[in-house]
Amino acid sequence: MNEDLLVIKKNEVPAIQFNKEELIERVDEILEQHKGIIYTIEDIPEAKKVVADLRKQKKYLNSERISACKPYEAIVKQTKTDMDDVLARYDTVIQEIDTQIKESENVWKKEREDYIRETYEDVFLHEIPEKYLVCPIIKNLKIDSKWMLKSTSKKKIKDQMIEKRDKILSDINTLKCVAEEEFLSDVEQEYFKELDLNKAIKKNQSLREAKQKVLEAEKKRKEEELRRKEQEMKEQQETQAVEPFEFDFDPIPVPEPISRKVSSSSTPIQKNRKSSINNSSVQNYPYPLNREIHKPVMKTLNIKIRGEESVIRDIMKYIYDKKDIEILQ
């Protein structure tokens, strides 16, 4: 701007003169009379009167100053009014140009936002798995404030988006390797709150520890339950125990092994009796025959069984119903 455009005539304004030194001396003299005085409760009315007189003097001196300056205030006010008429002429032109600047900037801003949105869709929506796109932090793109600066190129914006996308994909793969399958959903949900990998890993660790505590508690519960059942069974057995039922079987015949050979001078009666027995039985039966009862010579053995009555009766029935009892050597 041309500094010679404005020319102000600097008229000499007479100074307002007053007896400053004399006034200061007089005021100090008055105030000195009231310094250092200690007022008791009885002196409060007098102290209030002193304060009122001092405030009255101060108000008087200030009012005199205002009266002396009034003529000069009128001159200053008129000067301001005259200058405002000149300044208003600038406002019309400035507003017209400024409106165009804002409109142009709004158009540029709209174009930049459209570019960022289109680039985001191209970089993110076509690469990030669909199930993650519903996450608010992915769905609602947070525009970096630097992307809206004219000094930031479009290429730089796209490169930064690609870098951010690749970081997200890498983090997702990391979580799939680190997190247990049963926790993966919760861990990914934690990650997509702030795209913070460390927080997601800590979430997986906390879930793992919580599961371990549950398993340990369940194991302890089962062990206690097993001990309780064993104790109950033991107590039940003790309360239900009965004296064993005893039963003596009748003597059971036990064949005596052959200790001698049959004499060839056996009587005809013996031979006839032998022939009445099945030849194969005689050959295979290793016991001598009793001549009088025509049965193998037997020894007897007493057997005593201890146990529940019902079981013993079942054994007895089986033995008495058995036609042939094999005796194994």
- Helices 44-120 and 20-32 cross at an angle (nearest 10°) of 110
187, 175 in Cβ contact below 8 A? yes
Give residue for tokens 């001078």.
265
- Helices 44-120 and 154-178 cross at an angle (nearest 10°) of 90
Rounded Cα–Cα distance for residues 212 and 162 (Å): 39
- Half-sphere exposure of residue 148, counting CA atoms within 13 Å on the CB side? 12
**What token pair was written down for 291?**
């001549």
b (16+ CB within 10 A) / e for 235-269: eeeeeeeeeeeeeeeeeeeeeeeeeeeeeeeeeee
Q: Please give the chain's pLDDT, 329 residues, in tens.
A: 555 666 666 666 677 778 888 888 888 888 888 888 888 888 888 889 989 998 998 898 888 888 888 888 888 888 888 888 888 888 888 998 999 999 999 999 999 999 998 998 888 877 888 888 878 888 777 778 899 998 999 999 999 999 988 999 999 899 888 888 888 888 988 888 888 889 999 999 999 899 899 999 999 999 999 999 888 888 877 776 555 545 454 454 544 444 444 444 444 444 444 444 444 444 444 444 444 444 444 444 455 556 667 777 777 677 666 555 544 44
pLDDT at position 221, please?
Answer: 92
pLDDT at position 2, please?
Answer: 58
pLDDT at position 275, please?
Answer: 42
pLDDT at position 121, please?
Answer: 86
Q: What is the domain partition of the chain in residue ranges?
A: 14-102, 127-213, 244-258+286-321
pLDDT at position 155, please?
Answer: 93
pLDDT at position 12, please?
Answer: 66
Contacts of 72 by beta carbon, 8 Å cutoff, 6+ apart:
13
pLDDT at position 10, please?
Answer: 65
Among 255, 253, 250, CA closest to 316: 250
Global pTM?
Answer: 0.45
